[in-house]
């Protein structure tokens, strides 16, 4: 997995930046209280928001130290897919340019995480194993 360092580093920086900014600008609290609680996760919306941000930080560290990559990636992919379903899909494809807050960035991160999990590709042909 040495060959994945550049991708692991890039994803880790993205996860750290996304998490830290939300922790210090009240974004996590707003997401929990003003979104998750309202869409049906009350009374645990705030807790879920913090767990999501903390999971991003843990995943970033694990990506950097190259440990527990698959569990970290699977949890992060799940969060990204839920983000697409709950928030980004209704905004369309583009994050900027042709729209705003769309799903293209989550889509890219999901496939980068899959590439990190399977650095030699995925062999769908079981007869060659």
pLDDT of residue 75: 98
pLDDT of residue 129: 54
pLDDT of residue 125: 84
127 pLDDT above the threshold of 80: no
pTM: 0.91
24 pLDDT above the threshold of 60: yes
pLDDT of residue 3: 86
pLDDT of residue 21: 94
DSSP per-residue codes, the chain: -GGGHHHHHHHHHHHHHHHHHHHHSSHHHHIIIIIIIIIIITTSHHHHHHHHHHHHHHHHHHHHHT-SHHHHHHHHHHHHHHHIIIIIGGG-S-SSSSSSS-SHHHHHHHHHHHHHH-TT-----GGG-
Domain extents for the chain?
Answer: 2-118
Contact indicator for 57, 21 with CB cutoff of 8 Å: no
Residues 43-88: pLDDT tens digits? Answer: 999 999 999 999 999 999 999 999 999 999 999 999 999 999 999 9
Give the residue carrying structure tokens 């992060």: 76
Give the residue carrying structure tokens 């890039």: 10
pLDDT of residue 1: 58
């Amino acid at each position: 997995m040495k060959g994945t360092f550049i991708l692991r580093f890039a994803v880790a920086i993205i996860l750290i930046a996304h998490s830290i900014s939300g922790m210090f600008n009240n974004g996590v609290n707003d997401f929990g209280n003003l979104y998750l609680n309202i869409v049906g996760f009350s009374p645990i919306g705030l807790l879920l928001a913090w767990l999501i941000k903390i999971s991003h930080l843990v995943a970033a560290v694990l990506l950097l130290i190259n440990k527990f990559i698959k569990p970290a990636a699977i949890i992060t992919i799940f969060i990204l897919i839920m983000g697409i379903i709950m928030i980004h899909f209704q905004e369309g494809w583009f994050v900027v340019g042709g729209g705003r807050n769309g799903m293209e960035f989550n889509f890219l991160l999901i496939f980068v995480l899959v590439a990190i999990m399977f650095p030699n590709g995925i062999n769908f042909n079981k007869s060659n194993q």
